[in-house]
Amino acid sequence: MSAQEGGSAMHEEGSLEHPVHPTADVYLRVGAVLVILTVLEVGVFYVPAFHPVLVPVLLVLSAAKFTLVVMFYMHLKADSKFFTFLFGVPLLLAVGVMVALLFLFLGALTLRGAAGPG
């Protein structure tokens, strides 16, 4: 089978090459959720009652927005798992490096502070 014939054969709905993408209606709903999450983020920032839990709440809201865009707008939910692998592995590596750097630099700073001057 030639590449062109192979491509035509995969034009069926939900094939690897042409997965079923969400409809405009789904895109609009996701857009509405993204706007609501952004309003919540900014709202939480200005409400003093949330300040003790500000960082975890903001990180959760940000992660939710990130996931929605990647899953629906970048189509990782419907696309081949290979794309998830290509994106997910560097992302995990990057997050691991970030956490390691923060421990390395900020952890050392905290230990020096606990040890006192000198």
Partner 1 sequence: MAHAATTHHTSLGLDNRKVAFWAFIGSECLLFTALISTYLVYKGRSVVGPYPHEILNIPFTSVSTFDLLMSSLMMVLALAAVQRGDMKWGKIWLFSTALLGLVFLGGQVIEFTEFVHKGLTLSTNLFGCTFFVLTGTHGAHVAVGVLWLLTLWVRALQGKLGPANAMTVEITGLYWHFVDVVWIVIFTVVYLIQ
* Positions in the binding site for partner 1 (CB under 8 A): 3-4, 6-7, 10, 15-17, 21-24, 27-28, 30-31, 34-35, 38, 41-42, 45, 54-55, 58-59, 61-62, 65-66, 69-70, 72-75, 80, 82-83, 86-87, 89-91, 93-95, 97-98, 101-102, 105-106
Q: 3 or 115, CB closer to partner 1?
A: 3
Q: 70 or 116, CB closer to partner 1?
A: 70
Q: Got the DSSP string for 14-47?
A: T-SSSPPPPPHHHHHHHHHHHHHHHHHHHHHHH-
DSSP-derived letter for residue 51 is: G
Cα end-to-end distance, the chain, whole Å: 74
Shortest separation between residue 114's beta carbon and partner 1, angstroms: 17
Q: 4 or 115, CB closer to partner 1?
A: 4
* Cβ proximity of 26 and 72 under 8 Å: yes
Q: 45 or 112, CB closer to partner 1?
A: 45
* Cβ proximity of 16 and 80 under 8 Å: yes
- Sort 72 into a burial class: Cβ within 10 Å, 0-12 / 13-18 / 19+: buried
Shortest separation between residue 52's beta carbon and partner 1, angstroms: 14
